[in-house]
Amino acid sequence: MRKVLIIDDDPDIGRMIKMLLEYKGYSVTVLERSGQTAEIVRNNGINLVIMDMLLSGTNGIDVCDSLKTDSAIANIPVIMMSAHPDAKKICLEGGADDFIAKPFDMQELLSKVENLIGKKNSISK
């Protein structure tokens, strides 16, 4: 089963994305804080991380960077999201594989998820 980790300090956004992805057959874990993200990704077979750029007390770019510099999990795709007007450039330069602006269209998010998980699966075969 394809596993997605969502990190957003807004529980409503986490629940909304979780419901959509579970409906589409994904196994989803939601966190409101980014602590131990790398450990969770490493130990739970996570296939994709979706995370907010601005998390309470944490910069999502720093979390993304820590994932991308950990050789054991650097290949796990990360989609970052934010309502900040300059966020796309910042997130992509910070190592994110893709970006989605808040508020976002659920179909667009689903398309990005399927695209990135599909790419990862074709690379790992």
CATH number (domain holding residue 93): 3.40.50.2300
CA 79 to chain centroid, in Å, comes to 4
Say if residues 18 and 42 touch (Cβ distance below 8 Å). no
- Counting the structural domains of the chain, the total is 1
Q: Which residues pair with 49 in a beta bridge?
A: 5, 78
SS3 81: strand
Whether 92 is covered by a domain: the verdict is yes
Whether 26 is covered by a domain: the verdict is yes
Residues of the chain with pLDDT under 70: 119-125
Q: Model's pTM, two decimal places? A: 0.91
Whether 13 is covered by a domain: the verdict is yes
CB atoms within 10 A of CB 112: 20
17 closest CA partner among 90, 119, 112: 112
**Predicted pLDDT of residue 57:** 80
Which residue range is the domain that position 105 belongs to?
3-120
Whether 125 is covered by a domain: the verdict is no
Whether 95 is covered by a domain: the verdict is yes
Whether 81 is covered by a domain: the verdict is yes
**Predicted pLDDT of residue 67:** 94
**Predicted pLDDT of residue 122:** 45
